[in-house]
């Protein structure tokens, strides 16, 4: 049975001409062609590996070790968000090698990909009409997962890093959400800091200054330009709740 591709736009114009142009301009048409090559019936882990291989994306741990991630118990992995999409795929594959119970709190659009749907707890990052309700539900699910001793990956800034120095191409996350502190406190979770290296194009970050949706529209093209550009991952040591309790309480 034919399934609808998550990389095709709903057809609303005659012959779908406008949608075809938009898919070409944003790189969605290429992603759709690549998605069609996925192995039949592949599970989440197989799909993650397929995605990275077909996009030519490579990553390696440059500092620390995946052994820093506790194998059991309530664990919150916090990461910066420089690329907008690919870091979720990379960290998902890496974390699943250590924790089969990992969930990722991220943009709800990623749940449109059926193979990724079980992995993500979706949040509305664009403040849509039902954003408050859906995001409250997402935080409740995230908290429940930690209560059950699970591992949760979050990007505390809630959106892609901003370009703060265009000449030096220096990025900076927005102030991290206090919801992260609440999750740690409530569940007495281990915290594992992760840093993702790499950059998107300069125009991607400049587009974000105009409007977040414009930046989002460019994510497809940015996914396609990471070939032969290895992405470095740094994994800090796990921090016990009692070691961060004071700073969290004060935040």
In a domain, 127, yes or no: yes
In a domain, 130, yes or no: yes
Q: CB burial class (10 A; 0-12, 13-18, 19+) of residue 246?
A: exposed
* Res. 173 pLDDT band, cuts 50 70 90: confident
- Give dist(CA 162, CA 147) in Å, integer: 33
The whole-model pTM stands at 0.88
Model confidence over 102-130: pLDDT tens digits? 999 988 888 889 999 999 998 887 776 67
Name the residue with tokens 């550009």. 229
CATH of the domain at 201: 3.40.1130.10
SS3 135: helix
C-alpha 8 chain-centroid distance: 20
In a domain, 128, yes or no: yes
- Give dist(CA 116, CA 178) in Å, integer: 27
In a domain, 20, yes or no: no
How many structural domains are present in the chain?
A: 1
Residues contacting 124, CB < 8 A, separation 6+:
108, 130, 131, 134, 135
In a domain, 30, yes or no: no
Is pLDDT above 50 for 239? yes
In a domain, 18, yes or no: no
Structural domain of 200: 41-250
* Res. 251 pLDDT band, cuts 50 70 90: very low
Q: What is the chain's mean pLDDT, rounded?
A: 88
In a domain, 17, yes or no: no
In a domain, 21, yes or no: no
């Amino acid at each position: 049975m034919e399934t609808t591709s998550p990389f095709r736009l709903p057809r609303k114009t005659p012959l779908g001409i406008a949608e075809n142009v938009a898919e070409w301009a944003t790189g969605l048409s290429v992603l759709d062609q690549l998605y069609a090559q996925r192995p039949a019936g592949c599970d989440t882990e197989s799909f993650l590996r397929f995605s990275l291989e077909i996009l030519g994306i490579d990553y390696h741990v440059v500092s620390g070790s995946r052994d820093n991630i506790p194998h059991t118990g309530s664990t919150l992995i916090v990461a910066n968000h420089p690329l907008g999409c690919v870091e979720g795929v990379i960290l998902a594959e890496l974390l699943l090698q250590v924790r089969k119970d990992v969930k990722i709190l991220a943009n709800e659009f990623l749940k449109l990909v059926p193979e990724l749907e079980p992995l993500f707890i979706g949040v509305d990052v664009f403040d849509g009409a039902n954003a408050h309700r859906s995001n409250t539900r997402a935080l409740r699910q995230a908290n429940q997962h930690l209560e059950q001793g699970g591992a949760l990956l979050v990007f505390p800034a809630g959106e892609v890093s901003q370009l703060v120095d265009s000449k030096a191409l220096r990025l900076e996350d927005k102030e991290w959400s206090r919801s992260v502190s609440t999750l740690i406190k409530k569940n007495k979770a281990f915290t594992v800091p992760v840093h993702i290296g790499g950059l998107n194009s300069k125009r991607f970050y400049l587009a974000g200054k105009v409007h977040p949706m414009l930046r989002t529209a460019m994510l497809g093209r940015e996914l396609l330009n990471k070939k032969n550009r290895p992405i470095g991952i740094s994994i800090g040591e796990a921090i016990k709740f009692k070691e961060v309790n004071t700073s969290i309480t004060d935040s």
